């Protein structure tokens, strides 16, 4: 059993992820900014932790993470202000990595997106530019740490029912789409699969069972 902290605990992927992790025998703490979301977190079997990570320094995030052994980053500003996108998707993410290392956490799973890269090619005039820049920076920084990291890159998210199967980019995925149910299942499987450590795994829905695809 691991003690797993999920940043962005009220997101649509995270709310699907928490019960999957609990079913696997893990203890889950879901970090949310809004106290109104506490009941939703408890309803999916996780322990709610209220914290505004956008405004917490490394020391305070470390205190929040003390006692956990795994971090899942599924937080984001959700578009809108470029300043907030950089503040959450890049800066807070980087502080969470430093904080994890400070309290002895070794395992870190990042939910990124299909195509994230420092050479993303998004035009600076495109509203997506700030997100592309922020995620590229966060992913690059994570790779530079001594954490046992996995970076997951789902393609366009849908609300269709989960299929239990994906195709990774290495096996021909093109960045089409994937259900949120399946993204949550991929994160849960990745947490428990040492073979995913040190890998960037981009994926669509496909025809390979998730466990097999990640091995």
**String of DSSP letters for 88-155:** IIIIIHHHHHHHHHHTT--EEEEE--TT--TT----TTSTTHHHHHHHHHHHHHHHHSSSEEEEEEE-
pLDDT at position 183 is: 98
pLDDT at position 145 is: 98
CA triplet 141, 32, 51: central angle to 5 degrees? 80
pLDDT at position 119 is: 87
Please write the tens of the pLDDT for every residue from 40-62.
999 999 999 999 999 999 999 99
Residue-number span of the structural domain to which 99 is assigned: 3-214
Assess whether pLDDT exceeds 80 at residue 24. yes
Q: How many domains does the chain have?
A: 1
Assess whether pLDDT exceeds 80 at residue 80. no
Assess whether pLDDT exceeds 90 at residue 78. no
pTM attached to this predicted model: 0.96
Assess whether pLDDT exceeds 90 at residue 121. no
Mean pLDDT of 74-103: 94
Mean pLDDT of 112-135: 93
**Separation CA 156–CA 168 (nearest Å):** 14
Average pLDDT over the chain, rounded to whole? 97
**Separation CA 28–CA 45 (nearest Å):** 8
pLDDT at position 211 is: 98
CATH number at residue 8: 3.40.50.720
CA–centroid distance for 74 within its chain: 3
Mean pLDDT of 72-78: 93
Assess whether pLDDT exceeds 80 at residue 98. yes
**Separation CA 92–CA 80 (nearest Å):** 17
In the numeric block, the tokens 């509203």 are attached to 127
Quickly state the pLDDT bin for 1 (edges 50, 70, 90).
confident
């Amino acid at each position: 059993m691991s003690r797993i902290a999920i940043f962005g605990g009220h997101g649509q992927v995270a709310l699907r992820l928490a019960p999957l992790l609990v079913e696997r025998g893990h203890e889950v703490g879901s970090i949310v900014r809004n106290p109104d979301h506490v009941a939703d977190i408890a309803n999916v079997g996780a322990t709610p932790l209220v914290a505004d990570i956008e405004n917490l320094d490394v020391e305070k995030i470390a205190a929040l993470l003390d006692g956990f052994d795994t971090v899942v980053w599924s937080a984001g500003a959700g578009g809108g202000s470029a300043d907030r996108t950089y503040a959450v998707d890049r800066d807070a993410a980087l502080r969470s990595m430093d904080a994890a290392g400070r309290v002895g956490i070794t395992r870190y799973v990042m939910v990124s997106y299909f195509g994230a890269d420092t050479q993303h090619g998004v035009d600076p005039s495109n509203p997506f530019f700030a997100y592309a820049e922020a995620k590229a920076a966060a992913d690059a920084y994570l790779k530079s740490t001594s954490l046992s990291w996995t970076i997951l890159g789902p393609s366009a998210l849908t609300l269709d029912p989960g299929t239990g199967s994906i195709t990774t980019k290495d096996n021909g995925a093109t960045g089409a789409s994937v259900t949120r149910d399946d993204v949550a299942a991929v994160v849960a499987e990745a947490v428990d699969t040492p073979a995913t450590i040190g890998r960037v795994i981009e994926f669509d829905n496909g025809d390979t069972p998730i466990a097999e695809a990640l091995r």
